[in-house]
Structure 1
């Protein structure tokens, strides 16, 4: 049986992401997410016997640069964009007990 996102899980995801969606928008996103998950189910059906694992699909090389201090985003501007703040810091929901 394929893994599908339930309505309760969708509500939980909306809360975590602080999304305010209408019922219709929620249903549409839930359908789209379940469609994506069904693609993963299809991938599970592939025969990968003898196929060597890849780290990445393309060769990448790290490009290093000097760590130079530049213009900074003003603190007041950043705080103005936050949903919640406390004593000059961003306040976010607790994710680890």
Structure 2
């Protein structure tokens, strides 16, 4: 399959992109290179290769979710420029 100007226009329309005429020729060349690379990959015999579903054979090891407090409120607030007894004070960002 070769990419032409009409194909680029259709793909740009589907992707909601505006492609300038001077960019179109470069895009045609890039897309044709991608397709020729994919054709090279199709030439490889992969019949003996198992499909890859996961990147590793590791299984998630879940640990018990234990609530603990390593940092006290006072320790957390000691380096804050503005705070009250329990909370950080920040500038209002929503009007």
Structure 1 gaps, min length 5 = 63-73, 75-97
Q: Could you tell me which of 24, 38, 42 is aligned with 1:44?
A: 42
Task: Determine the C-alpha separation between the residues in 2 that align with 1:44 and 1:7.
Answer: 25
In the other structure, the counterpart of 2:3 is: 5
Structure 2 gaps, min length 5 = 61-93
Task: Determine the C-alpha separation between the residues in 1 that align with 2:15 and 2:26.
Answer: 16
> What is the root-mean-square deviation of aligned Cα atoms in Å?
2.3
In the other structure, the counterpart of 1:21 is: 19
Question: Tell me, what secondary structure is at the counterpart of 1:40?
Answer: helix
In the other structure, the counterpart of 1:35 is: 33
Task: Determine the C-alpha separation between the residues in 1 that align with 2:9 and 2:59.
Answer: 41
The change in CA–CA distance for 1:20 and 1:54 in structure 2 (over 3 A counts) is same
> Aligned-pair distance for 1:40?
0.7
> Aligned-pair distance for 1:33?
1.2
Structure-2-length-normalised TM-score = 0.52
> Aligned-pair distance for 1:51?
1.4
Question: Tell me, what secondary structure is at the counterpart of 1:26?
Answer: helix
Question: Tell me, what secondary structure is at the counterpart of 2:18?
Answer: coil
Matched residue count: 60
Structure-1-length-normalised TM-score = 0.51
> Aligned-pair distance for 1:20?
2.2
In the other structure, the counterpart of 2:91 is: none
